[in-house]
Amino acid sequence: MPSNQSPYKFTKSGLSLIFTSFLIVITPLIVIPGISHLIWKVKPSSKMDILVIDKTVPDKSRLEHRSFFWALKHLRIKRQDGAFYQYDKDYLGFYPKKDGNHKVKSLRYYSDEKIDSISKALDVLYLADTYGVYESDFNDQSELEFSRKIYGGLSSNDLKLTQKVIDAEGLLIAEFNSIGAPTSFAFRTQFEKMMNFKWTGWISRYFDELNPELNEEIPEWLINNYKEQHNGIWEFEGAAQVFVSEEGRIEVLKYGEDISNQVPKVISTLQSQQKFDIPKETNYPYWFEILRIDRSYEVISYIDMAPTKSGEEKLREMGLPRYFPATIVRNNGKGKIYYFTGDYADNPIPLSSAPFFGVPTIYKLVNDKNDYSNRTSFYWNYYFPLIKEILEEHSLN
């Protein structure tokens, strides 16, 4: 039976509405990203010789240094051959393979002459992490069992290169974990001497819940070691700051009883806020180490847990100060030496967003600096603006 409906006729107003709707949909998806990429692409690039050492690479995500390479690409910092740095190729350290045929790129067999040559060419040396990789990273071994080290720790040649970079007045950046286990005591002492600071032997981390039935992230070794030291008792619930010494001693400062800040805060001086475009305070709920620093250092930021009277007494009993350095710097002739006591570069930043202008601003707006559960918040609000200023200042100098 023939239809009485007349066929739809495209009018000018109808076509205009369709086209407008199409633009509304397509502009955010293609046009804006396209313009953002084009702006990024036409911005001037710079060339710097940068060496990253990361020995803690248990899988191909390479989290301990990936976010630093994001910053390099976004800032259009290239290798001397004009290519962008590749996070999965351009570093010294461990290279995991699915078939177990892992590879290592290191300074181990370099002669003193070769190390000297490298140091003279380098603009930046970044010690991202030296904790290393262990057999348990590649099997189902319990974390309570001893796991043999496959690769890790500062080496003699790592120290030689570090000293030569300092002597050459280059830019040196190092962060947690650069001097803890499995680095030998002798090599750690040597590193401390050249850096003009001393590790107290303590590291610390925030946990939002200490009841193991409610929080699976609490390591079993931490609970068991604490029980051995405290009459077999672990009756904690709620948020707390956990301290672990290199001798294995474990202490807990409970939120609301020993500390007033639920999450440790990285507090930046007014001068640092203005220079690095970092916030006055931001939450930092991850591992950090506690240092005693030389007076030659300027404290860019420090960690404050706002301990109560009982908390201060516990800190004193552990031989620790009221405040802890977070980000420090000292002048080194034409260069500078930076040390981050936290695991700053360890962040799951997607590399695909690097070649787009304005990304840090957008992510900074949508990532609340007070949201400690959002791991990337610290990166966009603190680490990226910090590392951006460090690299750009060094490039200008």
HEC letters along the chain: CCCCCCCCCCCHHHHHHHHHHHHHHHHHHHHHHHHHHHHHHHCCCEECCEEEEECCCCCCCCHHHHHHHHHHHHCCEECCCCCECCCCCCCEEEECCCCCCCEEECCCCCCHHHHHHHHHHCCEEEEEECCCEEHHHHCCCCCCCCCCEEECCCCHHHHHHHHHHHHCCCEEEEECCCCCCCCCHHHHHHHHHHHCEEEEEEEEEEECCCCCCCCCCCCHHHHHHHHHHCCCCCCCCCCEEEEEECCCCEEEEEECCCECCCCCEEEECHHHHHHHCCCCEEECCCCEEEEEECCCCEEEEEEECCECHHHHHHHHHCCCCCCEEEEEEEEECCEEEEEECECCCCCCCCHHHCCCCCHHHHHHHHCCCCCCCCHHHHHHHHHHHHHHHHHHHHHHC
Q: What is the pLDDT of residue 57?
A: 95
- Give tens-digit pLDDT for 270-327: 999 999 999 999 999 999 999 999 999 999 999 999 999 999 999 999 999 999 999 9
Q: What is the pLDDT of residue 305?
A: 96
Cis check for the bond before 177: say yes or no (omega within 30 of 0): yes
Domain count of the chain? Answer: 1
- Which amino acid is it at 362? I
Q: What is the pLDDT of residue 25?
A: 55
Question: In terms of residue numbers, what domain contains 326?
Answer: 43-396
Q: What is the pLDDT of residue 145?
A: 55
* Cross-strand pairs, 256: none
- Residue numbers in the chain where pLDDT is lower than 70: 1-31, 141-146
Is 288 within a domain? yes
Is 230 within a domain? yes
CA atoms within 13 A on the CB side of 231: 1
Measure Cα distances from 269 to 251, 298, 303, 304, 328 in Å: 29, 10, 12, 13, 12
Query: Against a cut of 0.75, is the pTM above it?
Result: yes
The tokens for 44 are: 């001037």
Is 106 within a domain? yes
Q: What is the pLDDT of residue 48?
A: 96
Q: What is the pLDDT of residue 31?
A: 67
Q: What is the pLDDT of residue 231?
A: 93
Is 2 within a domain? no
Residue 338 and residue 391 in contact, taking contact as beta carbons nearer than 8 Å: no
Residue 164 and residue 115 in contact, taking contact as beta carbons nearer than 8 Å: yes
Q: What is the pLDDT of residue 68?
A: 98
In the chain, the percentage of residues whose pLDDT exceeds 90 is: 79
Is 22 within a domain? no
Task: Give dist(CA 194, CA 163) in Å, integer.
Answer: 7
Q: What is the pLDDT of residue 115?
A: 96
Q: What is the pLDDT of residue 374?
A: 80
Is 10 within a domain? no
Is 20 within a domain? no
Is 4 within a domain? no
Q: What is the pLDDT of residue 228?
A: 95
For tokens 């509405």, name the residue.
17
